[in-house]
């Protein structure tokens, strides 16, 4: 008689073990996968997104082959496939490095509005100008800092440096206009923002790469430039960036490798270990 409770107890334990090893159903698997995807999308849309540096326009701050985490919450997350931007906790400040959607670039119809990373140099209401490659903001010459390390390549005021001359079907009159006036078609947009009767003087009627302005940044817009100024296609060419185009602020480099390395599999053998964890400033 004493053995019966023990048998019942064994049956309960066996049942419990059987329940613990039950395989999840297809519906449960789908729910688990859907939950994981939902968490990933939430983080990517509202909080943090990865971004790769494809060009040398921000050397030495960022290098080709750097992979960054971008804080999307700072300037306000953008809802994909819509024009809706949620509120952020900060506004772009002067000399912030920011990720944004470029204004239309007519010389690259295959990707006219790429996502870029540049430095904010002009805020709404600022008066900007460049004289002999020196940047002035509201009449005050700015410390060149990163831009001072940029090395000129060739003649930046040559016609071929202007993207408009590389346009498919570009008019011969563009080149003729340069020969007569020294002005580039791609810098002409700046004259629309020239101040009238300003204490900073009259706008340069023939703006070039290193000599342009003054121009006034209108409300809700920003002027962006690359640190590597002689290898940066930036606001000087394609214009001012609307506030709603901002997508985030880079945080740090989580992975970096040298794409020019002669080693085999450079993504694994040419890792820049010293760049990992580098905070973006």
Give the H or E element holding residue 103.
Answer: none
Cα–Cα–Cα angle for 273, 230, 212, nearest 5°? 140
- At 211-246, the pLDDT tens digits run 899 999 999 999 999 998 888 889 998 899 999 999
Tokens of 28: 């449960």
In a domain, 266, yes or no: yes
Residues in Cβ contact with 61 at an 8 Å cutoff, skipping those fewer than 6 apart: 97, 119, 146, 227, 280, 281
Confidence of residue 171 (pLDDT cuts 50, 70, 90): very low
63 vs 36, higher pLDDT:
63
What is the residue-averaged pLDDT of the chain?
Answer: 80
Alpha helices of the chain — where are they, by DSSP H?
Answer: 3-20, 26-42, 145-148, 172-181, 235-238, 266-269
- At 71-89, the pLDDT tens digits run 999 999 888 888 888 898 9
Give the H or E element holding residue 140.
Answer: strand 140-141
Confidence of residue 165 (pLDDT cuts 50, 70, 90): very low
- Report the pLDDT value the prediction gives residue 172, as an integer from 0 to 100: 42
Confidence of residue 29 (pLDDT cuts 50, 70, 90): confident
* Coil, strand or helix at 136: strand
Tokens of 275: 């760049």
CA dist., res. 95 & res. 237, Å (int): 19
Tokens of 177: 């206009």
In a domain, 18, yes or no: no
Give the H or E element holding residue 10.
Answer: helix 3-20
Phi, psi torsion values for 169, nearest 5 degrees:
80, 20
Residue 5 has pLDDT above 80, yes or no: no
* Coil, strand or helix at 134: strand
198-209 average pLDDT score: 83
Residue 158 has pLDDT above 70, yes or no: no
Residues in Cβ contact with 165 at an 8 Å cutoff, skipping those fewer than 6 apart: 159, 174, 175, 185
CA dist., res. 194 & res. 197, Å (int): 10
Residue 60 has pLDDT above 70, yes or no: yes
In a domain, 16, yes or no: no
Residues in Cβ contact with 71 at an 8 Å cutoff, skipping those fewer than 6 apart: 47, 48, 248, 249, 250, 251
- Report the pLDDT value the prediction gives residue 181, as an integer from 0 to 100: 41
- Report the pLDDT value the prediction gives residue 180, as an integer from 0 to 100: 39
In a domain, 93, yes or no: yes
Other C-beta atoms lying within 10 Å of the C-beta of residue 9? 10
Query: Percent of the chain having pLDDT more than 90?
Result: 40
Query: Any idea what the CATH number is for the domain that residue 197 is in?
Result: 2.10.109.10
For residue 141, list its beta bridge partners.
136
In a domain, 173, yes or no: yes
Confidence of residue 90 (pLDDT cuts 50, 70, 90): very high
27 vs 12, higher pLDDT:
27
- Report the pLDDT value the prediction gives residue 146, as an integer from 0 to 100: 61
CA dist., res. 236 & res. 153, Å (int): 17
In a domain, 122, yes or no: yes
- Report the pLDDT value the prediction gives residue 189, as an integer from 0 to 100: 84
268 vs 161, higher pLDDT:
268
Burial code of 59-76, b = ≥16 C-beta within 10 A, e = fewer? bebbbbbbebbbbbbbbb
Residue 264 has pLDDT above 80, yes or no: yes
- Report the pLDDT value the prediction gives residue 155, as an integer from 0 to 100: 56
101-124 average pLDDT score: 91
Domains of the chain: total:
1
Query: In terms of residue numbers, what domain contains 60?
Result: 27-275
């Amino acid at each position: 008689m004493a053995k019966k409770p023990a048998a019942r107890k064994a049956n309960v334990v066996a049942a419990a073990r059987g329940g613990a090893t039950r395989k999840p159903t297809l519906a449960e698997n789908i729910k688990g996968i859907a939950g994981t995807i939902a968490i990933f999308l939430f983080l990517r849309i509202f909080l943090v997104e990865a971004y790769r540096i494809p060009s040398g326009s921000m050397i030495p701050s960022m290098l080709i082959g750097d992979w960054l985490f971008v804080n999307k919450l700072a300037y306000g997350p953008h809802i994909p496939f819509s024009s809706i931007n949620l509120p952020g906790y900060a506004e772009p400040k002067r000399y912030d490095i920011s990720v944004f959607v470029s204004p239309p670039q007519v010389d690259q119809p295959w990707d006219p509005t790429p996502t870029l990373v540049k430095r904010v140099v002009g805020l709404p209401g600022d008066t900007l100008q460049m004289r002999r490659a020196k940047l002035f903001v509201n009449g005050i010459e700015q410390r060149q800092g990163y831009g001072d390390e940029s090395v000129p390549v060739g003649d930046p005021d040559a016609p071929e440096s202007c993207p408009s001359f590389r346009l498919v079907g570009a008019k011969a009159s563009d080149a003729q206009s340069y020969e007569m006036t020294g002005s580039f078609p791609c810098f002409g947009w700046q004259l629309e923002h020239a101040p009238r009767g300003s204490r900073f003087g009259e706008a340069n009627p023939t703006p070039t790469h290193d000599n342009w302005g003054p121009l006034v940044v209108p409300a809700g817009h920003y002027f962006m430039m690359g640190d590597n100024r002689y290898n940066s296609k930036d606001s000087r060419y394609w214009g001012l960036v609307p506030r709603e185009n901002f997508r985030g602020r880079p945080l740090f480099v989580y992975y970096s490798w040298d794409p020019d390395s002669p080693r085999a599999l450079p993504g694994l053998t040419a890792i820049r270990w010293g760049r990992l964890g580098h905070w973006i400033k």
